[in-house]
Amino acid sequence: MLVEDDPSHRELYGAVLERAGYTVTRASNADEALRALDTKLPDLILTDVIMPTMSGMSLLRELMNLHPGAGVILLTSQPQLADAVEAIKIGALDYLDKSSLLPPTRLAERVAVALQKRERKQNSRISGFHGAQATGYCNT
């Protein structure tokens, strides 16, 4: 899912990702994205940081509350180190300066890396869970 209030960025990034083989649902704001997430959680959510009504950081917090394992990448044209650190602490997979996405095909590369990272996190949670069961106490 791509959450971007700028129509030209939304279409450009969406087209780049579709050419790379991804299915892309587009949302123009956080509220629209949250409504779409009621029906299905995508593998990855890319969201702009600066948007009207709800920022990408607020959307990230909401997503981590609703879907703790959600894969989220924040995109911004005004990167701030403190925001990047906070986003990663909250649970974002990446925080990207839009200027680093030139050429735009770099976005597909970063998405592939984020999806691999998300999969590794999920696998480690699953194996950690099973490992915890194996070391538990048994009263017989």
Q: What pLDDT, in 10s, does the model give residues 71-122?
A: 999 999 999 999 999 999 999 999 999 998 888 889 999 999 999 988 887 7
pLDDT digits (tens, 9 = 90+) for 57-66: 999 999 999 9
Q: Is the pTM of this model over 0.85?
A: no
Whether residue 139 is contained in a domain is answered as: no
- Given this model, what pLDDT does residue 126 score? 61
Whether residue 140 is contained in a domain is answered as: no
Whether residue 83 is contained in a domain is answered as: yes
Taking alpha carbons only, the member of 126, 56, 37, 55 closest to residue 94 is 56
Whether residue 84 is contained in a domain is answered as: yes
What is the extent of the structural domain holding 130?
2-134
Whether residue 123 is contained in a domain is answered as: yes
Whether residue 48 is contained in a domain is answered as: yes
- Given this model, what pLDDT does residue 133 score? 45
How many folded domains does the chain comprise?
1
Whether residue 46 is contained in a domain is answered as: yes
Q: Where residue 72 sits, what CATH number does that domain have?
A: 3.40.50.2300
- Given this model, what pLDDT does residue 128 score? 53
pLDDT digits (tens, 9 = 90+) for 16-42: 999 999 999 999 999 999 999 988 899
